[in-house]
A and B are shown apart, each in its own frame.
Chain A
Amino acid sequence: MFDLDNWQEIFDTIRRHKLRTFLTALSVWWGIFMLVVLLGSGSGLRNSFEHNFRDDALNSIWVYRGQTSISYQGLPAGRYLQFSNDDYDMLRNEVEGIDKLTGRYYLTGEYVVNYQDKSLSFDVRTVHPDHLFLENTLMTEGRFINDKDIREIRKVCVLGDLIVEDLFEEGADPVGEYVQVKGVEYQVVGVFTDEGGENERRRIYLPITTAQRIDSGTERIHQLMFTVSDPTLEGSKKVEEQVRQHMASLHQFDPKDDQALYINNNLQEYQQFQTVFNMIDGFLWFVGIGSIIAGVIGVSNIMLIVVKERTREIGVRKALGATPRSIIGMILLESVFLTGMAGYIGLLSGFGVVYGINALMKANDVELEFFYNPEVSFGAVIIALIILVVCGALAGLIPALQAAKVQPIEAMKQ
């Protein structure tokens, strides 16, 4: 098979049939090229989605207040629920399977932040210490809000790194400095960054208790967020159900009332998206392989024509001692070589396009919502290569068998 002579025979035929070599190579090239580009786009889509998810803990559940829709134990439907510190304590102490837990208290109005002579407005979030883990907040300096801040209702704050850039001189250390937020002075205890984008990095975190104190000592909480210790879908559904039950008895609503609470299970959502993306991937493979098969059928057809053209030559070879096997080997090798080569070039150019786009996007800082970091996995490449070789062999099979049937008397015909 790997004798130099076999290759020479192949190069001879390829040289003698330049046009058909080009056409078959083109169709296979296109098939593989399409497959790679499609898979790359699919991964771009998937990665953009994972990218959007990346600053939230995947195994997290977010709980929002709703409005009851079923009357329960004499209480009418249509009641608005309110969360308070009791809900936080209840989740912390009574529900099993919750790992990190935080509330959020929404401060209303504009938050003007003053430092020295600068005055800018930013978003403020008031949270418990575990919030650090729920949003994948990355501390770059100092620390995040801690339990002592909560207990002692301290006036401390944690700043996003872009705020620091805006307010402080370059090289200045903000930790320990005081900034004014809506007229109240807070000491900066830490600086963070966040992979979730620029908006996240222009936030100020305050202890939730401090915020409640400012809003005339309320005990209210607007939103609760937690991660589950068992990161399976079942585990998180179990915890979700428990939370619903406990909340139902605390707030006296029907546990079957799905309007009373809005529960956002990120894991479930993530897995639903994964299912969708797997389906998209499957579809792309289907289309890609379809175009490869079209290419392969083209190769097969042209090889068949070539075998017809070469009938006499094959007859002569047989008269001179070529066995059917050697003829089959010759045609198969030619077919595998042709599809393999063309496919390999298709693979490379497909890669070129996918990574070229990726590099261009990175270089120009293009951030598209539905397209991020397109790539083609190594496994997909291996599969594509296997497909190529198998298809090459399949494409050559029928023509090769046809060639093997050529009778040596063909050589004798005038």
Chain B
Amino acid sequence: MIKLENIRKSYTTGFNTLEVLKGIDLEILEGEFVSIMGSSGSGKSTLLNILGILDAYDQGNYYLGDILVKNLSQTQAARLRNQHLGFVFQSFNLLAFKSAWENVALPLYYQKIPRAERRERALKYLDRVGLLDWADHLPTQLSGGQQQRVAIARSLITQPRMILADEPTGALDSVTSHEIIKLFKEVNEEGITVVLVTHEHDIAEMTNRTIFLKDGLIDLE
């Protein structure tokens, strides 16, 4: 489902050019549950951002299904993200002034789906992550674990092919982290591809496949 061919990415700050990804070849199949590990600064987030079409790469090819993701306009990228991808962030990134269900429904807003239908679908996914009773609460009224569940519900609502999560448990205690990973596992068991970045071995062990990044290259699997 995903194919990366010799992906390179460098950042230029001032006169220094920092090569972060030095030729990544990677294939992820439909329905895989993949974790990415590596030391800090090894390029995990950079790789995930490229997979998520949040950032552009310098060289190589990225195929999402049979779409070559390259030189897209902002609008095209936004459409692809909205239709095929779901995101879960370390810091949840819920909109503070919107209730839980409104946050969950936000991706549907950009699909121009009417409000009533958005609400109905959002409630379904909130129920799915066990937070139906919290639908009308603001993010600040929820615990970290609950916020991340809301974020997962939000990532699922468009029924994406792949969910990308950058250290989704980075801000949570270990008990809550395990609950969240369990939720990801359930999601994956329904056939959705899940790719997550983590620092924790026990979390990586719960995934089906772990990719180690080192110095901008895939070190071992």
- Encode contact with A along B69-108: 1 for CB under 8 Å, 0 otherwise: 0000011011101110001011101010110000000110
| Interface pick from B47-55, B124-132, B208-216 | B47-55
Indicate if the CB atoms of B54 and A411 lie closer than 8 Å.
yes
Contact of A16 with B97 at beta-carbon distance under 8 Å, contacts A320-B82, A321-B82 already known: yes
Contact of A319 with B81 at beta-carbon distance under 8 Å, contacts A411-B89, A412-B49 already known: yes
Bound: A316/B95 CA distance, A? 8
Indicate if the CB atoms of B93 and A409 lie closer than 8 Å.
no
- Encode contact with B along A147-166: 1 for CB under 8 Å, 0 otherwise: 00000000000000000000
Answer yes or no: B42 CB below 8 A from chain A CBs.
no
Answer yes or no: A90 CB below 8 A from chain B CBs.
no
Contact of A320 with B87 at beta-carbon distance under 8 Å, contacts A312-B93, A409-B54, A412-B54 already known: yes
Indicate if the CB atoms of A414 and B91 lie closer than 8 Å.
yes
Give the interface size class of chain A: 20 to 34
CB within 8 Å of B: which of A310-325? 312-313, 316-325
Indicate if the CB atoms of A318 and B49 lie closer than 8 Å.
no
Residue of A nearest to B73 (CB): A324
Indicate if the CB atoms of B54 and A320 lie closer than 8 Å.
no
CB distance from B130 to the nearest CB of A (A): 22
Residue of A nearest to B157 (CB): A320
Interface of A is mostly: helix
CB distance from A317 to the nearest CB of B (A): 7
**Residue of B49, B54, B78, B107 most packed against chain A (CB within 10 A):** B78
Residue of A nearest to B166 (CB): A412
CB distance from B92 to the nearest CB of A (A): 10
Indicate if the CB atoms of B78 and A313 lie closer than 8 Å.
no
Answer yes or no: A44 CB below 8 A from chain B CBs.
no
Indicate if the CB atoms of B81 and A408 lie closer than 8 Å.
yes
Indicate if the CB atoms of A412 and B95 lie closer than 8 Å.
no
Question: Could you say which residues of chain A place their CB within 8 Å of the CB of B79?
Answer: 321, 323
- Encode contact with B along A313-339: 1 for CB under 8 Å, 0 otherwise: 100111111111110000000000000
Indicate if the CB atoms of A320 and B97 lie closer than 8 Å.
no
Indicate if the CB atoms of B95 and A324 lie closer than 8 Å.
no
Question: Could you say which residues of chain B place their CB within 8 Å of the CB of A312?
Answer: 93
Question: Could you say which residues of chain A place their CB within 8 Å of the CB of B111?
Answer: 321
Contact of A316 with B90 at beta-carbon distance under 8 Å, contacts A321-B82, A321-B110 already known: no
Question: Could you say which residues of chain B place their CB within 8 Å of the CB of A322?
Answer: 78, 110
Answer yes or no: A369 CB below 8 A from chain B CBs.
no
Bound: A322/B78 CA distance, A? 6
CB distance from A312 to the nearest CB of B (A): 7
CB within 8 Å of B: which of A1-27? 4-5, 12, 15-16
Indicate if the CB atoms of B115 and A313 lie closer than 8 Å.
no
Residue of A nearest to B90 (CB): A414
Could you say which of B78, B89, B95 contacts A318, with CB atoms under 8 Å apart?
A: B78
Question: Could you say which residues of chain A place their CB within 8 Å of the CB of B77?
Answer: 408
Answer yes or no: B154 CB below 8 A from chain A CBs.
yes
Indicate if the CB atoms of A321 and B81 lie closer than 8 Å.
yes
Indicate if the CB atoms of B106 and A317 lie closer than 8 Å.
yes
Question: Could you say which residues of chain A place their CB within 8 Å of the CB of B106?
Answer: 317, 320
Residue of A nearest to B102 (CB): A8
Indicate if the CB atoms of A12 and B154 lie closer than 8 Å.
no
Question: Could you say which residues of chain A place their CB within 8 Å of the CB of B83?
Answer: 321
Could you say which of A313, A320, A325 contacts B154, with CB atoms under 8 Å apart?
A: A320
Q: A312-B93, A324-B75 are in contact. List 15 more A-B contacts (CB 8 A).
A: A12-B97, A16-B97, A317-B106, A318-B74, A319-B52, A320-B106, A321-B81, A321-B111, A322-B110, A323-B75, A323-B78, A326-B110, A404-B74, A408-B54, A409-B55
13 contacts between A and B (CB under 8 A): A15-B97, A16-B97, A319-B52, A320-B81, A320-B107, A321-B78, A323-B74, A324-B78, A326-B110, A404-B74, A409-B55, A411-B54, A412-B89
Residues of A within 8 A of B (CB): 4-5, 12, 15-16, 312-313, 316-326, 404, 407-409, 411-412, 414
